[in-house]
Amino acid sequence: MTPEFPPSSPAGLDRRHVLQGLAAAVLLPATAALAAPKPLIVGGLPVTCNLTLPVACMARANSNKAAGSDAFRFEYSKYNGWPEIKESLMTGGIQAAYMLAPLVMDLADKKIPVKIVSLGHRSGAVIMVRTDSPYKKFKDLTGKRIAIPSRFAVDFLFLRKMLTQEGMTPKDIQIVEMPPPDMPAALYAKAVDGYCTGEPFGAAAQRAGYARPLRMTRDEWRNYICCVLTVREELIKENRPLVQDLVNHIQGAGNWLDQQQANREKAIQIAAGRKYFNQDPNILRFVMENPTDRVTYGDLRMIRAEFDELMKLSMEAGTLKTPVAYEKYVDESFVKAAKAAPMPL
């Protein structure tokens, strides 16, 4: 039966126009479904402690291409310093990032809705001094200028641990906060006497010949963690499958990186590109080879006692004022459910 249109229909609105409108309404959902979802932007620094992120992003992109599907997409966004990442995550400019663990504790304590959902690495920090300097022990650094990325950085806690071993405190040195990429040049220009940071910014100066490690976490603090995958809570509520897929790919990347040196060489070529770290691959290679366990990635277990230790050290450092409940800043569910994703690289 042909539908009747009410006489109140606006002038010029005949049956053909209405039918066309109905057809368009039916087609609209199908058209929208075909549109690719926006990628999840994940912030990170160009440091090898964040290497699992470019590897995971590339693996997911390759899987999508092979499957002809964009069900899950995430992309790396490079930042040069922790304050910028912190600001973007706080304001919702990005919904996920590799962050400093103590900084996440502080944000959660200040009611910023963020949760740690995975580790990103272990070890990977160094304390560098000039090759031509006489410094052999920390007592030799008394009164000297030492750069750190942030007072919330676990690098700073590492420095404090080394000072404590020799009966010193941070008051015995001059501490300067500085973005990690600026540290090698500052040491070369003698603007600082040493620096403590994540790789590859120690390796950059060491490979160039004007710096040497005074201490490395691989020798002094084997279970050291600093960079953790952090997401805003609304992302967890709105898209748990996407967060789980990201954690699966981070775990897959970590396992893959530690399987064999050939995989690390592939990772170097990925991370060195403009889309990711935009760095000299030779410097990244130096980190991966000198020694091969300078940074490790396979053991990404989230162990409560290790976070408790970081909190205790942060409170002693004064960067945290009060203890923060573990459940307030950590969501273990994704790591517990993680299935390491394949790495088609």
Whether 234 maps to a domain, the answer reads yes
Chain position carrying tokens 């000039």: 130
In angstroms, the CA 220 to CA 216 distance is 6
> What is the rounded average pLDDT for all residues in the chain?
90
Statement to judge: residues 45 and 109 lie in one domain:
yes
Statement to judge: residues 188 and 166 lie in one domain:
yes
With bands split at pLDDT 50, 70 and 90, how would you rate the model's confidence at 35? low
Statement to judge: residues 153 and 265 lie in one domain:
no
Report the CATH number at residue 210: 3.40.190.10
Contact (CB, 8 A) for 55 and 256: yes
pTM: 0.86
Which tens digits make up the pLDDT trace of 169-220? 999 999 999 988 899 999 999 999 999 999 999 999 999 999 999 999 999 9
Closest CA to 86 of 121, 117, 112: 112
Statement to judge: residues 162 and 110 lie in one domain:
no
Statement to judge: residues 237 and 205 lie in one domain:
no
Looking at residue 204, its amino acid is A
Residue where one domain finishes, among candidates 204, 220, 236: 220
Statement to judge: residues 254 and 269 lie in one domain:
yes
Whether 345 maps to a domain, the answer reads no
Statement to judge: residues 113 and 235 lie in one domain:
yes
Tally of domains in the chain: 2
Statement to judge: residues 255 and 332 lie in one domain:
yes
In angstroms, the CA 78 to CA 46 distance is 7
Terminal alpha carbon distance of the chain: 59
With bands split at pLDDT 50, 70 and 90, how would you rate the model's confidence at 36? low
Closest CA to 41 of 95, 88, 79: 95
Whether 344 maps to a domain, the answer reads no
Residue where one domain finishes, among candidates 162, 194, 220: 220
Alpha carbon 116 to its chain centroid, in Å, reads 11
Whether 29 maps to a domain, the answer reads no
Statement to judge: residues 215 and 95 lie in one domain:
no
Statement to judge: residues 197 and 213 lie in one domain:
yes
Statement to judge: residues 267 and 201 lie in one domain:
no
**The pLDDT of residue 31:** 42
Statement to judge: residues 243 and 276 lie in one domain:
yes
Whether 3 maps to a domain, the answer reads no
111 — alpha (psi -120 to 50), left (phi > 0) or beta? left
Non-local CB neighbours of 263 within 8 Å, separated by 6+ positions = 256, 257, 343, 345
Whether 311 maps to a domain, the answer reads yes
Whether 26 maps to a domain, the answer reads no
Element (H, E) at 170: none
Contact (CB, 8 A) for 192 and 89: no
Range of the structural domain that residue 172 is part of = 125-220
- Residue 51 scores a pLDDT above 80: yes
% pLDDT > 70, the chain:
90
